[in-house]
Amino acid sequence: MTVTRTVSVSRIISGALLIAGTCVGGGMLALPVETGPSGFFPSVLIMLISWAFMTTTGLLIIEANLWMEEGAHLMTMASKLLGKPGKWLTILLYLFMGYASLIAYNTAGASLLDSAFSDLFTKDLMRVEACILFALVFGTMIYFGTRIIGIINTFLMVGMIIAYLVLMINGTGNIHMSYLTHRKWSYSFYSFPLLLATFSYQMMVPSITPYLKRDPRALKIAIVAGTTIPFVVYLTWQWIVLGSVPLEGKMGLLDAYRKGQPATESLRAFVKSPWISVSAQFFAFFALVTSYLGIALGLKDFLMDLFSLKHKKSNNLFMGLLAVIPSLVFAILYPKAFLLGLEFSGGFGDSILSAFIPVSMIWIGRYYKHHEGPLRIFGGKKLLSTLGTIAVFIFVVQIVKLIFPHET
């Protein structure tokens, strides 16, 4: 059975799962900590807006990508539609987002290793030791390339799904409805930057296009389905954590925000169940490592392409070190970088690279270069203007957050 004449249902499902897997990861661990001050219902509204926003910008990238020859990626698209300034802005933003995310995941990974050592050996690791150990173990893996990482990632994804299901099944009995009724709408917009990071997949859209044989309908289905899966996962995750963990007090959500800790640490503290404790640790571990490996591998390959290097062992090693070591140094120097790194990636990176640049490419391609292709996204200039305004607004929100953070 096929949905279109050229693309099978199984391939469309696979494409949707690739998009969903790109979105769901370590950023999910920060979501309840970031949205806790505003409350469950405000966070659901902002999450819905973010989902619609990021889904639409992904569809715009498909429209622009179908104007190009097969194999064209964001750098090529930006270069042809926005010129050299667009190309170099894309390069700089890609590097910024890659390093910001790696810093965040190395920071949180070090905290997890410290907790594991404390539980298993009743010995705390020094922060520097934990950061180096995480980068040494998982940063080394990217040297072995995509095939080995793919095998490792499959096992990690299976583990993450199992741990998540155990968390959801056991967590539903600990919901306090009074926790879910907290609302502070003035803080709700502060969640936008992180939510953009958790719905970020746009950089892989040009890779999905040839995989789905450049079929417009198949690509639209894959993107809408691929972003809806994370939305449902995040919604249930928010409900469990915000309903189980109080806002105030030691290990509450505000305390986790101050310390830059993932939500699983607070969940373990308040839900006195061995199943919750163990599954929370494993879920956090799998989510962080899958995100770290994927971004580190992508950054290494991006650097190889940027410097026009061949895939030799020496080049792989050097570019791998160039991807891992700077992020390790910043993770050591900034112990609260988990939330901040993801916020920077979303607020400064995704608002431009995943939103403003696609809008600009479509505007110029449609109305100045008069490109026509097999797909044209609805809305016209009004939609593009709205999306561009939202992108700028989120960029400004991130600046405001730096000046006026949550009153914690």
Tokens (6 digits) for 170: 């056991």
Going by pLDDT thresholds of 50, 70 and 90, the confidence category of residue 406 is low
Supply the pLDDT for residue 313: 84
What is the b/e burial string over 148-185, where b = at least 16 CB atoms within 10 angstroms of the residue's CB? ebeebbeebbebbeebbebbbebbeebeeeebbebeee
Going by pLDDT thresholds of 50, 70 and 90, the confidence category of residue 4 is very low
Q: Which of 154-163, 298-307, 324-333 has the highest mean pLDDT?
A: 324-333
Q: What value does the mean pLDDT take over residues 326-335?
A: 92
**% of the chain beyond a pLDDT of 90:** 47
pTM (predicted TM-score): 0.87
Residue 2 has pLDDT above 50, yes or no: no
Residue 391 has pLDDT above 90, yes or no: yes
- Residues contacting residue 352 through CB under 8 Å, at least 6 positions apart: 89, 93, 391, 395
Q: What value does the mean pLDDT take over residues 387-402?
A: 95
Going by pLDDT thresholds of 50, 70 and 90, the confidence category of residue 238 is very high
Considering only residues 398 and 1, tell me which one the structure prediction assigns the higher pLDDT: 398
Residue 60 has pLDDT above 50, yes or no: yes
DSSP class of residue 156?
H
Q: What value does the mean pLDDT take over residues 264-270?
A: 84
Residue 2, SS3? strand
Tokens (6 digits) for 158: 């299976």
Residue 408 has pLDDT above 80, yes or no: no
* 199 close to 227: Cβ distance less than 8 angstroms: yes
Tokens (6 digits) for 57: 């910008």
Locus of tokens 């509204």: 45
Going by pLDDT thresholds of 50, 70 and 90, the confidence category of residue 63 is very high
Residue 52 has pLDDT above 90, yes or no: yes
Q: What value does the mean pLDDT take over residues 75-89?
A: 91
CA atoms within a 13 Å half-sphere pointing along the CA-CB vector of 11: 19
Supply the pLDDT for residue 241: 92
Supply the pLDDT for residue 396: 96
Encode pLDDT of 308-323 as tens digits. Answer: 888 788 888 999 999 9
Going by pLDDT thresholds of 50, 70 and 90, the confidence category of residue 88 is very high
* 347 close to 190: Cβ distance less than 8 angstroms: no
Q: What value does the mean pLDDT take over residues 48-68?
A: 96
Q: Strand pairing partners for 2? A: 8
Would the CA dihedral through 57, 58, 59, 60 be positive or negative? positive
Residue 3 has pLDDT above 80, yes or no: no
Share the mean pLDDT of the chain.
88
Domains of the chain, first to last? 10-403 (1.20.1740.10)
Estimate to the nearest angstrom the gap between the alpha carbon of 36 and the chain centroid: 19
Supply the pLDDT for residue 33: 92
Residue 157, SS3? helix
Residue 69, SS3? coil
Residue 5 has pLDDT above 70, yes or no: no
Tokens (6 digits) for 230: 């994370």
- Residues contacting residue 198 through CB under 8 Å, at least 6 positions apart: 23, 24, 27, 28, 31, 50, 230, 234, 342, 346
Least Cα distance to 293 among 339, 327, 259, 260 occurs for 327
* 187 close to 247: Cβ distance less than 8 angstroms: no
Supply the pLDDT for residue 296: 87
Supply the pLDDT for residue 199: 94
What distance in Å separates the CA atoms of residue 115 and residue 122, rounded to the nearest whole number?
Answer: 9
